[in-house]
Amino acid sequence: MPVQIEQLRIVQYPNPVLRVKAQPITEVTDEVRRVALRMLEMMHEAPGVGLAAPQVGLSWQIFVANPTREPEDDQVFINPVLTRPARETVPQDEGCLSLPGVNAPIYRPRSITIEATDLDGAKFTMTSGDLAARVWQHEYDHLEGILIIDRMAEIDRIANKRTLKDLEQAYKQK
């Protein structure tokens, strides 16, 4: 069934689509391109530095990112694979457009390499040791059905408990 681009919305926890493992994109079609471009718009509107397809209700292996928020830094990652994670992990505060109001330090490898396909169907590889590395790992987690609440320390889960309860309540009332 074709995707209704104008009906895409950012879904919030605990929508079950956020827990589904995304499927690979078999071909970069015009529809995939349209979805990716709309996701970039939605990411900027939010505003955020990354957005994964499951967050707009699509179980597709695709995410968009822009750690600097400069227009020329928009990037689309199709069927991404993460490799060569640094052994050293570092904490940094993370939030998520699907978990409004939830924040916690998350430990992740300091640097990482990503291999993916772009909107022209071409493979590319990038390596980062800064915010991009963190965004890629956060968005890649979404494709695996993993959320920051799965990675945060117990004490932070307790600190965010009220917000999570409110989100669960809001979802039930939809």
Provide the token pair at 4: 């209704």
Judged by CB, which is closer to Zn ion: 28, or 102?
Answer: 102
DSSP for 95-127?
Answer: --TTSTT--EEEEEES-EEEEEE-TTS-EEEEE
Q: How far is the CB of 127 from Zn ion (least distance, A)?
A: 22
Q: How far is the CB of 5 from Zn ion (least distance, A)?
A: 21
Which candidate, 76, 94, 71, 86, places its Cα nearest to that of 36? 76
CA distance 169 to 162: 11
Q: How far is the CB of 136 from Zn ion (least distance, A)?
A: 12
| Distance (Å, whole) CA 58 – CA 38 | 13
Comparing CB distances to Zn ion, the nearer of 96 and 143 is 96
Q: Which of 152, 153, 142 is nearest to 12 (CA)?
A: 142
Window 82-121: residues binding Zn ion (CB under 5 A) = 96
Q: Is the Cβ of residue 31 or residue 168 nearer to Zn ion in the bound state?
A: 168
3-state secondary structure of 62: strand
Residue nearest to Zn ion (CB): 96
The answer to the question of residue 167 lying near Zn ion (CB under 5 A) is: no
Tell me which of 139, 144, 154, 168 is the catalytic residue.
139
Nearest approach in angstroms of CB 48 to Zn ion is 8
94 included as an active-site residue: no
| Active site amino acids | 139
Binding positions for Zn ion, rule: CB under 5 A: 96
